[in-house]
């Protein structure tokens, strides 16, 4: 059964508390057999508790599949991009290098690229993926657009990303503040922003700090 077209994955990194529930729960999905495909990134541990859960964005035109010389990565009609197929995957790492979101990881022991498959055994039955089921902060959430609109009145969804000249649309939606005018997220532009320009945080503990 395909994943119902009304059910979507919503990602709000602003809510993430770095608890690793998603990482631990991913390994508990019945078909993942103890392997976690979830990544949790600290942006800069020394400077901030900000963490970002990284799941596969399930692109409409997945770069990982486009660069795969063995045609091992399949996107099903319901928009889910799957882990590489074992008989085809040649462990060349093209997908690992090419994915703009940095999602696919090479499992060297198995000679297989493994990534989030949206807990296909669950979502194709109408259940929530493990990570979005357990996430204590609501940074990861699975359901319909109507539900999220009601739950998150201060946010809106975005599914368009720019990486320099490349524009990608995804099945997964990212929550952004409602009052922002942008209709897309410019990922490479944010990389150019200086991380030192943070006088408030640097002076956080000083007398007379802002």
* Residue 54: HSE in the Cβ half-sphere, 13 Å Cα cutoff: 15
Nearer to another protein, 97 or 149 (CB): 149
Nearer to another protein, 165 or 197 (CB): 197
Interior CA angle at 176 toward 175 and 178, to 5°?
115
- State the nearest-atom distance from the C-beta of 51 to another protein, in Å: 8
Instruction: Find out whether 161 and 41 touch, Cβ atoms under 8 Å.
Output: no
- State the nearest-atom distance from the C-beta of 87 to another protein, in Å: 8
Q: What is the largest CA-CA distance in the chain?
A: 63
Nearer to another protein, 169 or 204 (CB): 204
Any idea which residue has 């030192």 for tokens? Answer: 196
- State the nearest-atom distance from the C-beta of 166 to another protein, in Å: 29
Query: What would the two tokens of residue 57 be?
Result: 């964005």
Residue 183: Cβ within 10 Å count: 9
Nearer to another protein, 14 or 100 (CB): 14
- State the nearest-atom distance from the C-beta of 57 to another protein, in Å: 20
Query: What would the two tokens of residue 44 be?
Result: 């800069």
- State the nearest-atom distance from the C-beta of 169 to another protein, in Å: 25
Nearer to another protein, 189 or 203 (CB): 203
Burial class (CB in 10 A: 0-12, 13-18, 19+), 8: buried
Contact footprint for another protein (CB under 8 A)? 14-21, 23-25, 27-28, 30-35, 45-51, 83, 85-87, 107, 109-110, 112, 114, 117, 128, 130, 133-138, 151-155, 201-202, 204-210
């Amino acid at each position: 059964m395909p994943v119902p077209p009304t059910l979507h994955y919503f990602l709000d990194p602003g809510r993430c508390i770095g608890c690793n529930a998603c990482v631990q729960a991913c390994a508990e999905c019945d078909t993942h057999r103890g392997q976690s495909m979830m990544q949790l990134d600290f942006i800069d541990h020394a400077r901030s508790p900000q963490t970002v859960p990284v799941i596969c964005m399930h692109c409409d035109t997945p770069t990982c599949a486009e660069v795969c010389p063995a045609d091992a990565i399949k996107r099903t009609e319901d928009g889910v991009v799957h882990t590489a197929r074992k008989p085809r995957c040649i462990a060349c790492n093209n997908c690992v290098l090419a994915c703009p979101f940095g999602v696919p990881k090479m499992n060297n022991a198995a000679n297989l690229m493994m990534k989030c498959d949206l807990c296909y055994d669950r979502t194709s039955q109408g259940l929530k993926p493990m990570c979005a089921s357990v996430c204590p902060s609501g940074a990861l959430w699975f359901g319909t657009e109507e539900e999220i609109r009601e739950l998150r009145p201060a946010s809106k969804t975005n599914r368009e990303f720019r990486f320099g000249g490349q524009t990608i649309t995804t099945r997964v939606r990212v929550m952004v503040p409602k009052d922002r005018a942008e209709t897309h997220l410019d990922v490479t532009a944010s990389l150019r922003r200086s991380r030192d320009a943070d006088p408030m945080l640097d002076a956080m503990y000083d007398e007379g700090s802002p």
